[in-house]
Structures are given as C-alpha cells and as structure tokens.
Amino acid sequence: MGKYLLIVKNTIQENLVYRFSTFAVFVGETLVFVFFFYLWTSIYSSGQQIGSYSLKGIISYYLVLNFIFLTTKNNNTAWIAGEEIRRGELTNVMLKPISYLGYLLSHAIGRLLYCLAIYSLVYFFLLIALRNYIDLPNNIATILLFTALAILGFFINFFVAYLVGIMAFWLGQIIGLNFAVMSLVTFFEGGLMPLDLLPNFVTRINDFLPFKYVVFVPISVFTGRIGFSWELFLIPLGWVLFLLFLVKIIYRKGLKKYEGYGA
Amino acid sequence: MGRKIKKYLRIIAALQKNNLMSMMAYKQNFVIMTMAVIIFMAMNIIFLQVIFGYIQNIAGWNFYEVLLIIGSTMIIEGLLWIFGARVGALGHLIRNGELDGLLAKPADSQFLISFWECDHEDFPRVIIGIILICYGLANLNLDLETVLANLFFYLILLINAIVITYSITLLLKTIYFWTIADYSLYNFLNAMSQISQYPTDVFVNFFVKSIFTFIIPLAFAATVPAKILARGFDWKLVVGSCTVATVFFYLSRRFWQYALKHYTSASS
C-alpha cells in the first residue's frame, strides 16, 4: 500500500510542475461553459425550452458537468497505458513489485486529488457568483450521495480508459480507438447533453451500459432531478466490480502478446 | 515570385507524399482513425438534431442555417488537419530537439512547421462538411442565382476563416517554446472548435461579444461565412473578416519570429 501512496504523492508533485497545463485545461473548459451559458440563455430568453429543463436546470447541468470533466474525468489513463505498452516501457513497471493496474490507478488518483484541490476552490467561488442561475442542493445527504456516485463514476471512467489503453497489446497504436471510444462515451454518459432529452430507444440502450453513472446520474442527483434509491448506488458498484474483473482478464491475455521491444 | 511559389508548392507536395507513405505503414490505425473522425462528426450532428427537436432557432438561426456553420467548421478544420495537422509537429520537434534540423533547411521556417505533419484521416471532415452545406442550402429556399452570388463571397470569407483559425492555432502552439504544455493545448483548441460550431450571435453581452469577435475571433471562424452564405453580402462583415485575418496572420508571424529569436535548442 505504501508504495502506491508514494506514486500518488509523486503524481501530485509532478502535476505541480505542469501548472501551465492545468491552467490551459481550465481556461478551455471554462470557455466552453461560458459559451453554453450564453447559448442556453439566448434560447430560453426567446421563449423556447429544452424538454423539461428550466434555464436554471440546464445551466446547473452544464456547470456540474464542467466540474466532473475537470476532476473525475480529467486523466489520460488510456493514452499513458497505450504509449507505455507501444514503446515497451511497460517492462520497467513489470520489473517492480507493483501491479500495472495499481500503478496507473495511483497515478489517476494522484491527478484526481490535485484537480480536486484546485477546482473545489474555483467552484466554491463560481457557485457563489452564479447562485441565482443554478439549482443548488439544499441538504447534506444529497451532497454525500453525489460524492459517492462521483467516486464510483471515477472508477468506471478509469477502468474504461484502462481497457482502451491496454488494447495497445493488439493494436500497437490506440490514438484512433481512444478518439472513437471517447466520442461515443461522451455522448452516452451525458457529456454532450442530458440523457433524458434523448429518444427512448437510446435510453434503453443506455440501461445496459455503465457510462451514464459517470456523468448523467451524479449530476441529476446533485441538481435534485433524481432522488435516493439503493439501485442508484448498487448498479454502478456492480459495474465497477465487473469492470475490475474484466480488465484483469484482458490484461493477462494481452501480456501474452507483449514483446516489449524498445525497452 | 513565380519560381518561389512553384518551389513552395513542390515542398507541400513532397511533405504530403511523405506523410501519406508513413501513414500507410499503419493501415489499420488509419482506418480506425477515419472511423473515429466520422463518429465524432455524427455525435455533433445528433446533438444538434436533438436540440432542434425542442426548439425552432438559436439566436435567430434555424436548423439549416446552423448546418451551414457546422459544415464550414468541418471544412476549415478538415483542411487544416489534412495539410498541417494544425501545426501538430511543433510540440514534439521542440521536445526532442529536432526543430534545429528544420530551421537549417533553405525554406521559411513558419511555412515548413505549418505543413510538416499531416493528418490525412481527417478527410471525412471536409466531405461531411460539404454535404451538410449542400443539404442546408437545398432546404433554405434560396434561388440559384442568389446561392451562386453568395457562394462567391462565402469562399473569400472561408479562406479568411482558414487563415484566422490557422493563426490562432500557431499563436497558441508557439507557447511550446516556453513550456511543455503536452495535451492541454490540444484541449484548448478542442474547446475553440466546439464553440465555433454554433452561431456566435448568442452573445448578447457587449463585453463577451467583443472578446469572441476581436480577441478570440471565433465569430469570423464560421458564423460570419455562414451568415454571408445564408443571408447574402454584407460589406461590414467582409471588411471585418479581411481585417481580422490580416491582423491575426501578422501577429502569428511576429510571435513566431519572436519565439525563434529566444529559442535555445534542447539538443546538443
């Protein structure tokens, strides 16, 4: 456990070196949010409405979405894994007494803690500034449930990214696969728009996929559109365990194909 | 002058050929990348379709007019990716100290870096963009004469838009000379292309509108050309677009030269 904590700590320090990166990502994501803020305001001020969402509801959705993209989804696990496998650098990790999954997970957790430290502060002020435009949760239970779901979402997102990354055992290059999967996942998790705006058949497909638990479900809990139920918590937990099982099997299979050239 | 143009056209052709050859070495990845680009485009169009299932217009733009904007974005970015990977080479050339070799070549360094790497898998962007524009135009009830007249000015503004988008990209990428920003700059560019897909007329706030018109001139990147195409000639927009394109190209060139002066190589 101690060695993994060390990786977490190192990742945080590493991120502190690349402050400019953090800043650029933040400015980029914020520009998108500012744009959507005006887009929705423009639509609603001309008397139009998107589904059952009020202007407050839709702005809240995109604000929390922004937060999730900057924290639980803000790691490039797929890319790191893909490159390390392609360049044969995985061998360096294999020679150490740590598991590759644990190594990358510690990396992602370090990054998450770093992002949380920065963006919690930014969002604290943002929420106060925008309090008249958004629906804030009015009780601690909602915030706790949101936090628990966001953590489960972090793990689902991580395992999917890891799965894409270790496809490098078979594909060599995963840039294309990563781009394709991310486009689809962003859509199915509710990263482009709230999922309850989509036609019914998409919702039905989505019930068989884990992605909505990364973005849509946590946000809807936060904004009060979904109330507490045990399924809400147990289904994503089931997905996390299933994905953990799945990535372990696939990694073992991939390792048999691994040649480690370049290392 | 003529000889110089010929020389640079030959360089572009040679770089295109080299890139195509190295890409074909990984055919499987090329196919996956092409599909990925198509999926990405499709997701954006579905988003628009769903939104327009609930509303009639965005800041006065109906569905078909917005298609002209998205189509323009796809053509502009598609061409920039195909011919220069959006200056994608600069980051790793600096990091690996390989930029020196490029600087020593007997051709303009900004020209070389801009065409050095190509992403041919982005060709579907251009094709889907053209299809969307044709589909949008066909549904706008314009007569053929108006369309042809508008198309003339549209093409001029489209060239300006390519220059503007290219200049912003180079201005941003030049930051690599001072800091290793890895994928975060890519993230930033992504944000900009996401915004330029929609009418910038949604900005009613004067301050915010000015920012997106003059400081980050995304308004001229796709909304303005599409506006000319859908609603006809407007000299204010044409003059504005030409001015912003000239100013931004000049700025990007000056910044590039300034950065080069302060460049200390990473290689020995």
Predicted pLDDT of residue B180: 67
**Residue A190: how many other CB atoms lie within 10 Å:** 26
Best probe of the A interface among B34, B43, B61, by most A CBs < 10 A, is: B43
For chain A, what is the total number of helices (H) and then of strands (E)? Answer: 12, 0
Residue B151 banded pLDDT, cuts 50, 70, 90: very high
List, in order, residues 6 or more apart from B21 with CB less than 8 Å away: none
Instruction: Please answer whether residues A78 and A174 qualify as being in contact, where contact means their C-beta atoms are separated by less than 8 angstroms.
Output: yes
| Class of residue B203 by CB neighbours under 10 A (exposed 0-12, middle 13-18, buried 19+) | buried
| Class of residue A141 by CB neighbours under 10 A (exposed 0-12, middle 13-18, buried 19+) | exposed
d(Cα B155, Cα B148) in Å, to the nearest integer? 11
Distance from B249 to chain A by nearest Cα, in Å? 22
**Opening angle at CA A23, ends A64 and B253, nearest 5:** 125
Chain A interface, Cβ < 8 Å to B: 18, 20-25, 27-29, 31-32, 34-35, 38-39, 41-43, 46, 48-51, 76, 79, 171-173, 175-177, 179-180, 183-184, 186-187, 192-193, 197-199
d(Cα B185, Cα B177) in Å, to the nearest integer? 13
Global confidence as pTM: 0.89
First to last CA, chain A: 27
Tell me: the pLDDT tens digits for B55-78? 999 999 999 999 999 999 999 999
Predicted pLDDT of residue A161: 97
d(Cα A255, Cα A190) in Å, to the nearest integer? 34
How many residue pairs from chains A and B have C-beta atoms closer than 8 A?
125
Per-residue pLDDT of chain A (263 residues; tens, 9 = 90+): 789 999 999 999 988 887 877 888 888 888 888 888 999 999 999 999 999 999 999 999 999 999 999 999 988 899 999 999 988 899 988 898 899 999 999 999 999 999 999 998 888 888 888 888 888 888 899 999 999 999 999 999 999 999 999 999 998 888 889 999 999 999 999 998 999 999 998 889 999 999 999 999 999 999 999 888 888 999 999 999 999 999 999 999 999 988 776 55
Predicted pLDDT of residue B268: 47
pLDDT higher than threshold 80 for residue B26: no
d(Cα B77, Cα B125) in Å, to the nearest integer? 8
d(Cα A77, Cα B34) in Å, to the nearest integer? 22
Taking contacts as CB-CB distances below 8 angstroms, the residues of chain A near B33 are 175-176, 179
Instruction: Please answer whether residues B59 and B202 qualify as being in contact, where contact means their C-beta atoms are separated by less than 8 angstroms.
Output: yes
Tell me: the pLDDT tens digits for B193-242? 888 999 999 988 888 888 888 888 888 999 999 999 999 888 999 999 99
Predicted pLDDT of residue B267: 58
Predicted pLDDT of residue B255: 96
Tokens read off for A14? 């590493």
Predicted pLDDT of residue A84: 93
Show the 3-state SS of A177-235. Answer: HHHHHHHHHHHHHCCCCCHHHCCHHHHHHHCCCCHHHCCHHHHHHHCCCCCCCHHHHHH
pLDDT higher than threshold 60 for residue B25: yes
| Strand ranges, E, within A56-213 | none
Tokens read off for A75? 């790691």
Q: Residue A197: closest CA among chain B residues belongs to which residue?
A: B50
Mean pLDDT rounded to a whole number for chain B:
90
d(Cα A116, Cα B58) in Å, to the nearest integer? 35
Backbone angles phi, psi at B61, to 5 degrees: -95, 125
